[in-house]
Amino acid sequence: MSIPAATLMTALRSGHSTSPRLTWYGPDSERVELSGRVLDNWVAKTSNLLQDELDAEPGMAVRLDLPAHWKSFVWALAAWQLGMEVVFDETPADLLVTDKPDGAGAGFDAVVAVPLAALAMRWPGELPSGVVDYAAEVRSHGDVFMAHNEPEAELPAVRGASALSHEALIEGFASAQEPGVRLLVRAADGLESCLSASLGAWKGDGSVVLVHPDLEVTEHLLENERVSRP
Protein backbone atom coordinates (compact mmCIF):
# COMPACT_ATOMS: atom_id res chain seq x y z
CA MET A 1 0.00 0.00 0.00
CA SER A 2 1.30 3.44 -0.88
CA ILE A 3 -0.95 5.79 1.07
CA PRO A 4 0.95 7.90 3.65
CA ALA A 5 -0.72 6.32 6.69
CA ALA A 6 0.47 2.87 5.63
CA THR A 7 3.98 4.22 5.04
CA LEU A 8 3.94 5.81 8.50
CA MET A 9 2.95 2.53 10.17
CA THR A 10 5.78 0.75 8.34
CA ALA A 11 8.22 3.32 9.68
CA LEU A 12 6.90 3.06 13.24
CA ARG A 13 7.26 -0.73 13.36
CA SER A 14 10.62 -0.78 11.59
CA GLY A 15 12.96 1.96 12.77
CA HIS A 16 13.70 2.02 16.52
CA SER A 17 10.63 -0.16 16.96
CA THR A 18 11.17 -0.71 20.68
CA SER A 19 11.49 3.00 21.49
CA PRO A 20 8.49 4.83 23.00
CA ARG A 21 6.25 6.43 20.36
CA LEU A 22 3.11 7.19 22.37
CA THR A 23 2.97 7.68 26.14
CA TRP A 24 -0.37 8.35 27.82
CA TYR A 25 -0.94 9.93 31.22
CA GLY A 26 -4.50 9.41 32.46
CA PRO A 27 -6.49 9.63 35.69
CA ASP A 28 -5.71 7.50 38.77
CA SER A 29 -1.95 7.41 38.08
CA GLU A 30 -2.56 5.71 34.72
CA ARG A 31 0.49 5.61 32.46
CA VAL A 32 0.56 3.63 29.23
CA GLU A 33 3.63 3.51 27.03
CA LEU A 34 3.50 2.12 23.50
CA SER A 35 6.62 1.44 21.48
CA GLY A 36 6.44 1.66 17.71
CA ARG A 37 6.02 -2.11 17.52
CA VAL A 38 3.26 -2.21 20.15
CA LEU A 39 1.45 0.77 18.63
CA ASP A 40 1.54 -0.93 15.24
CA ASN A 41 0.22 -4.13 16.83
CA TRP A 42 -2.81 -2.32 18.26
CA VAL A 43 -3.40 -0.50 14.98
CA ALA A 44 -3.15 -3.74 12.95
CA LYS A 45 -5.61 -5.54 15.22
CA THR A 46 -8.05 -2.62 14.98
CA SER A 47 -7.72 -2.43 11.18
CA ASN A 48 -8.41 -6.16 11.00
CA LEU A 49 -11.46 -5.76 13.23
CA LEU A 50 -12.73 -3.02 10.93
CA GLN A 51 -12.09 -5.02 7.77
CA ASP A 52 -13.04 -8.53 8.87
CA GLU A 53 -15.80 -7.97 11.41
CA LEU A 54 -17.35 -4.65 10.36
CA ASP A 55 -16.88 -5.03 6.58
CA ALA A 56 -15.11 -1.68 6.38
CA GLU A 57 -13.57 -0.72 3.05
CA PRO A 58 -11.52 2.14 1.62
CA GLY A 59 -13.69 5.21 1.14
CA MET A 60 -16.05 4.45 4.01
CA ALA A 61 -16.33 6.98 6.85
CA VAL A 62 -15.93 6.38 10.58
CA ARG A 63 -16.93 8.98 13.16
CA LEU A 64 -14.66 9.06 16.19
CA ASP A 65 -16.85 10.22 19.04
CA LEU A 66 -13.97 9.91 21.50
CA PRO A 67 -11.77 12.24 23.52
CA ALA A 68 -8.07 12.53 22.78
CA HIS A 69 -6.75 9.28 24.26
CA TRP A 70 -4.27 6.61 23.24
CA LYS A 71 -7.13 4.34 22.12
CA SER A 72 -8.65 7.05 19.90
CA PHE A 73 -5.20 7.53 18.34
CA VAL A 74 -5.15 3.79 17.58
CA TRP A 75 -8.57 4.04 15.95
CA ALA A 76 -7.61 6.97 13.76
CA LEU A 77 -4.42 5.28 12.56
CA ALA A 78 -6.28 2.02 11.93
CA ALA A 79 -8.96 3.74 9.86
CA TRP A 80 -6.41 5.70 7.84
CA GLN A 81 -4.32 2.58 7.23
CA LEU A 82 -7.43 0.94 5.78
CA GLY A 83 -8.12 3.95 3.55
CA MET A 84 -11.15 5.22 5.46
CA GLU A 85 -12.25 8.78 6.16
CA VAL A 86 -12.03 9.82 9.83
CA VAL A 87 -14.90 12.13 10.80
CA PHE A 88 -14.39 14.51 13.72
CA ASP A 89 -17.65 16.46 13.45
CA GLU A 90 -21.35 15.56 13.60
CA THR A 91 -21.81 14.90 9.89
CA PRO A 92 -23.03 11.46 8.68
CA ALA A 93 -20.70 8.47 8.63
CA ASP A 94 -20.94 4.73 8.02
CA LEU A 95 -19.55 3.63 11.38
CA LEU A 96 -19.52 5.15 14.86
CA VAL A 97 -16.79 4.58 17.44
CA THR A 98 -17.72 5.99 20.83
CA ASP A 99 -17.24 5.82 24.59
CA LYS A 100 -20.93 6.76 25.03
CA PRO A 101 -22.85 3.99 23.20
CA ASP A 102 -26.27 4.36 24.86
CA GLY A 103 -28.77 5.51 22.24
CA ALA A 104 -26.02 6.07 19.66
CA GLY A 105 -26.95 3.57 16.95
CA ALA A 106 -29.30 5.54 14.71
CA GLY A 107 -27.94 6.29 11.26
CA PHE A 108 -24.87 4.04 11.39
CA ASP A 109 -24.17 0.65 9.85
CA ALA A 110 -22.34 -0.36 13.03
CA VAL A 111 -21.45 1.08 16.43
CA VAL A 112 -18.33 0.20 18.41
CA ALA A 113 -18.07 0.90 22.15
CA VAL A 114 -14.58 1.73 23.43
CA PRO A 115 -13.96 1.58 27.20
CA LEU A 116 -11.18 4.03 27.98
CA ALA A 117 -9.74 2.35 31.07
CA ALA A 118 -6.29 0.99 30.20
CA LEU A 119 -6.85 -2.53 31.53
CA ALA A 120 -10.48 -2.93 30.45
CA MET A 121 -11.05 -6.41 29.01
CA ARG A 122 -14.66 -5.66 28.09
CA TRP A 123 -17.27 -2.91 28.34
CA PRO A 124 -18.22 -2.32 32.01
CA GLY A 125 -21.91 -3.22 32.06
CA GLU A 126 -24.58 -3.96 29.48
CA LEU A 127 -24.29 -2.71 25.91
CA PRO A 128 -27.22 -1.89 23.62
CA SER A 129 -28.12 -4.70 21.25
CA GLY A 130 -25.80 -4.93 18.25
CA VAL A 131 -23.07 -2.68 19.64
CA VAL A 132 -19.58 -4.17 19.26
CA ASP A 133 -17.44 -4.33 22.42
CA TYR A 134 -14.00 -3.19 21.24
CA ALA A 135 -12.10 -4.35 24.30
CA ALA A 136 -13.63 -7.83 24.15
CA GLU A 137 -13.17 -8.28 20.40
CA VAL A 138 -9.93 -6.60 19.35
CA ARG A 139 -7.47 -9.06 20.91
CA SER A 140 -8.73 -11.95 18.78
CA HIS A 141 -7.70 -10.22 15.55
CA GLY A 142 -4.41 -10.61 13.73
CA ASP A 143 -1.22 -8.74 14.60
CA VAL A 144 -0.45 -8.04 10.93
CA PHE A 145 -2.77 -6.09 8.64
CA MET A 146 -3.17 -7.06 4.99
CA ALA A 147 -5.68 -4.95 3.11
CA HIS A 148 -8.24 -6.75 0.97
CA ASN A 149 -8.50 -3.70 -1.29
CA GLU A 150 -5.66 -1.25 -1.82
CA PRO A 151 -6.91 2.29 -1.09
CA GLU A 152 -6.48 5.13 -3.55
CA ALA A 153 -4.60 8.21 -2.43
CA GLU A 154 -7.37 10.50 -3.70
CA LEU A 155 -9.95 9.12 -1.24
CA PRO A 156 -10.99 11.43 1.62
CA ALA A 157 -9.07 10.95 4.87
CA VAL A 158 -10.15 13.77 7.21
CA ARG A 159 -13.49 15.49 7.77
CA GLY A 160 -13.73 18.15 10.45
CA ALA A 161 -11.94 21.48 10.78
CA SER A 162 -9.84 20.15 7.90
CA ALA A 163 -11.00 18.21 4.84
CA LEU A 164 -8.14 16.36 3.19
CA SER A 165 -7.41 13.30 1.07
CA HIS A 166 -5.12 10.44 2.04
CA GLU A 167 -2.53 11.83 -0.33
CA ALA A 168 -2.41 15.04 1.74
CA LEU A 169 -2.77 13.44 5.19
CA ILE A 170 0.82 13.69 6.36
CA GLU A 171 1.89 16.81 4.47
CA GLY A 172 -1.40 18.70 4.86
CA PHE A 173 -2.89 17.54 8.17
CA ALA A 174 0.19 16.90 10.30
CA SER A 175 1.51 20.05 11.99
CA ALA A 176 5.18 20.90 11.61
CA GLN A 177 7.44 19.60 14.40
CA GLU A 178 11.18 19.42 15.00
CA PRO A 179 12.79 16.14 13.85
CA GLY A 180 13.09 13.65 16.70
CA VAL A 181 10.90 15.70 19.02
CA ARG A 182 9.52 14.25 22.27
CA LEU A 183 6.30 16.22 22.01
CA LEU A 184 3.95 17.15 24.85
CA VAL A 185 0.35 16.95 23.60
CA ARG A 186 -2.50 18.12 25.84
CA ALA A 187 -5.68 16.09 25.42
CA ALA A 188 -7.72 19.18 26.31
CA ASP A 189 -6.93 20.53 22.83
CA GLY A 190 -9.30 17.96 21.30
CA LEU A 191 -8.80 14.84 19.24
CA GLU A 192 -8.36 16.45 15.82
CA SER A 193 -5.75 18.92 17.03
CA CYS A 194 -3.90 16.29 19.06
CA LEU A 195 -3.72 13.91 16.10
CA SER A 196 -2.41 16.69 13.87
CA ALA A 197 0.39 17.42 16.32
CA SER A 198 1.19 13.74 16.86
CA LEU A 199 1.36 12.90 13.17
CA GLY A 200 3.84 15.74 12.81
CA ALA A 201 6.01 14.27 15.56
CA TRP A 202 5.89 10.75 14.12
CA LYS A 203 6.60 12.04 10.63
CA GLY A 204 9.90 13.37 11.94
CA ASP A 205 10.77 10.13 13.76
CA GLY A 206 9.68 11.62 17.09
CA SER A 207 7.37 10.56 19.88
CA VAL A 208 4.40 11.87 21.84
CA VAL A 209 3.46 12.33 25.49
CA LEU A 210 -0.34 12.71 25.65
CA VAL A 211 -1.73 14.07 28.93
CA HIS A 212 -5.34 13.91 30.17
CA PRO A 213 -7.02 17.31 30.77
CA ASP A 214 -7.38 16.67 34.52
CA LEU A 215 -3.66 16.11 35.05
CA GLU A 216 -1.21 18.84 35.90
CA VAL A 217 1.82 18.94 33.65
CA THR A 218 4.54 19.17 36.29
CA GLU A 219 8.23 19.81 35.92
CA HIS A 220 8.78 16.27 37.21
CA LEU A 221 6.64 14.83 34.41
CA LEU A 222 8.46 16.87 31.77
CA GLU A 223 11.87 15.82 33.07
CA ASN A 224 10.87 12.18 33.61
CA GLU A 225 9.55 11.86 30.05
CA ARG A 226 12.40 13.92 28.58
CA VAL A 227 9.92 16.17 26.83
CA SER A 228 11.56 18.47 24.28
CA ARG A 229 11.73 22.12 25.33
CA PRO A 230 11.59 25.19 23.11
Q: What is the pLDDT of residue 129?
A: 92
Q: What is the pLDDT of residue 114?
A: 98
The rounded distance, in Å, linking the Cα atoms of 195 and 191 is 6
The rounded distance, in Å, linking the Cα atoms of 110 and 129 is 11
Q: What is the pLDDT of residue 1?
A: 52
- The strands making up 30-35's β-sheet, listed across from edge to edge, are 30-35, 20-26, 207-211, 182-186
Q: What is the pLDDT of residue 194?
A: 98
The rounded distance, in Å, linking the Cα atoms of 134 and 175 is 29
Q: What domains appear along the chain, each with residue ranges and CATH number? A: 4-225 (3.40.50.12780)
Half-sphere exposure of 110 (CA within 13 A, CB side): 15
The rounded distance, in Å, linking the Cα atoms of 27 and 46 is 24
Q: Can you give the pLDDT of all 230 residues of the chain as single tens digits?
A: 579 999 999 999 987 889 999 999 999 899 999 999 999 999 999 999 999 999 999 999 999 999 999 999 999 999 999 999 999 999 999 999 999 999 877 899 999 999 999 889 999 999 999 999 999 999 999 999 999 999 999 999 999 998 999 999 999 999 999 999 999 999 999 999 999 999 999 999 999 999 999 999 999 999 999 999 87
Which residue type is seen at 173? F
